[in-house]
Amino acid sequence: MTRHTVFALLLFISTTAFCQDRTNARSMVISQYGIVATSQVLASQAGAEILARGGSAVDAAIAANATLGVMEPDMNGMGGDLFAIFWDAKSGKLYGINASGWAPKALTIDYLKKKGATKMPPAGIDSVTVPGAVEGWHKLHERFGLLPWKDLFTPAIFYAENGFAVQELIGSDWQGSAPKLKQDSESRRVFLMNDQAPSMGQIFKNPDLAKALRLIATSGPQAFYSGQIAQAILATEHEFGGAMAADDLKEFSGEWVEPISTTYRGWTVYELPPNGQGMAALEMLNIMEQFQPAKSGPVSTEEVHKRIEAMKLAYADLARYNADPRFAKVPVKGLLSKDYAKQRSQLIDPHKANCNPQAGTPPSSDTTYLTTVDRQGNIVSLIQSNFSSFGSGITVRGMGFVLQNRGALFMLDPAQPDALAPRKRPFHTIIPAFMEHGDDHIGFGIMGGANQPLAHAQFVSDVVDYGMNLQAAMETARFTVRSNFDPGCQILIEDRVPADTRQQLTNLGHQLEVRGDFSMYMGRGQAIDHNTKSGLNFAASDARTDGSAEPEPPPPLRSQR
């Protein structure tokens, strides 16, 4: 055996050993063509097919999102809201869309108090705000779409009409929502089979939703906001004594917004401005930046404690200041200043958990996430949601989709920034994100209510501080909280965090609720990185989902389809 042969053999053995010892369960998907990453394999495939037909990243995102509305009706659908970030590869410019709906004109604090309410209802007709998803699709397609609008809904219509096999994790969530669905006769009829939620592997069909999707495909957003679907929404509202009127739907419009950003150890990280909670992720990163990454790693006591405490401070500010900026002055610039982060970081005690974090004084100044990239390198980071599982619990009569319950996040105290008001948008938990450094441009997001800002910050830190690839960063064990407004010391944490670390965190005063290896409480994320130097795309799909990252078929295969 020659010396060169021995060297090659040793190199093979060492490389193989490294791969066998990795901590992430999945590999990244790497392709010179476009990729679609979603929480359902068939939705990812639907988006990839749109790319293969010459569609843009936006076209693929809309097709995938519409398909997800069929396959994950608990999480999202045309009865919910939407936010997205679009990165234009040619110009390097970012565009943000806020397609979150407003409260009906007649839904006021006095209106609810006269009905005996002392706080916003968590579900039911008075938690319903105007759904913005279809308007978001329209705005995105109008500006960045390439294929005809009607072609984007073909996969979703097919699966709604012909059925699909319910996947493992969504099947479990569906089962848990059965009692809620039984409270509305239409929800019971549409989403239960023999009065039971469909279980994993059962074929589920939704012909009513197929009809609604056809109306959207042929008549555009007008079908939803002033046409046949609007009439069905208003009839449903009337049946339950709701406040929504025709003008609330007809006059709604999505809004193009400028993303907000901060820098984190040389990377620029972007979120969308309020009424979403993206500023909390950026503030958390600013506070974390005041400390060096723990040499003992991302799931060490030192690192996890620092992240938890930074999260509490950022969430205290979020609860105090976040609101619809058209109705309240939100001090975004002050909250994201580095000087303010330095001031807030000094409140972190490395030896003790803070169970009662307070908001600072800054200087003036259940959800589905998906990401797509096309062969030109354009990236869409999109998130869409009903809020709670199956939203308000009320299904639009004859249309096969539930109405969201975003209004539940308003407050009935008129002194609060998020006080309910006519045509005001509520606090929003869903946030798409984007980060870039040099040649790398990453669209990413991790869903899950209060989980999202802290999950974003953990993901960014894992990439930047610990050099993880997208898949490893997405899969690394995480912690989360149940509430944006009062996280206290109650922390949910995956049991892949070492037992000795969990014990040490408990000794510091954290009250840990240990969840499974890959817990859905930690959110379900996707990420895509376009490298402008190599032209390659890298994608990750969270092991906490039923989904995948699916590459666009290359040209020879496209021609055979």
Question: Which amino acids are annotated catalytic?
Answer: 367
Q: Which amino acid is at 241?
A: G
- What tokens does 5 get? 């042969």
Report d(CA 332, CA 298) in Å as an integer.
Answer: 28
Angle in degrees, 0-180, between the axes of helices 57-71 and 207-219, rounded to the nearest 10: 160
List all residues 6 or more positions away from 326 whose beta carbon is below 8 Å from its beta carbon: 424, 425
Instruction: Report d(CA 213, CA 217) in Å as an integer.
Output: 6
Token pair for residue 268?
A: 């620029």
Task: Give the tokens for residue 539.
Answer: 């994608």
Count the alpha carbons within 13 Å of 309 in the hemisphere toward its beta carbon.
27
Query: CA dist 76 to 102, 161, 403, Å?
Result: 18, 18, 10
Q: How far is CA 353 from the centre of its chain?
A: 28
Show the tokens assigned to 363: 């200087």
Distance CA 105, CA 220 (A): 25
- Kind and range of the H or E run holding 114: helix 109-114
Enter the tokens of residue 296: 């003992």
In DSSP notation, 526-537 reads EEEEEETTT--E
Counting every residue written for the chain, the total comes to 561
Q: Is 53 exposed, middle or buried (0-12, 13-18, 19+ CB in 10 A)?
A: middle
Dmax over CA atoms of the chain, in Å, equals 89
Contact 293, 307 (CB under 8 A): no
For 300-345, the DSSP string reads SHHHHHHHHHHHHHHHHHHHHH---TTTS---HHHHT-HHHHHHHH
| Strand order across the beta sheet in which 479-480 lies | 479-480, 490-494, 511-515
Angle at 329 between CA 325 and CA 332, to 5 degrees: 80
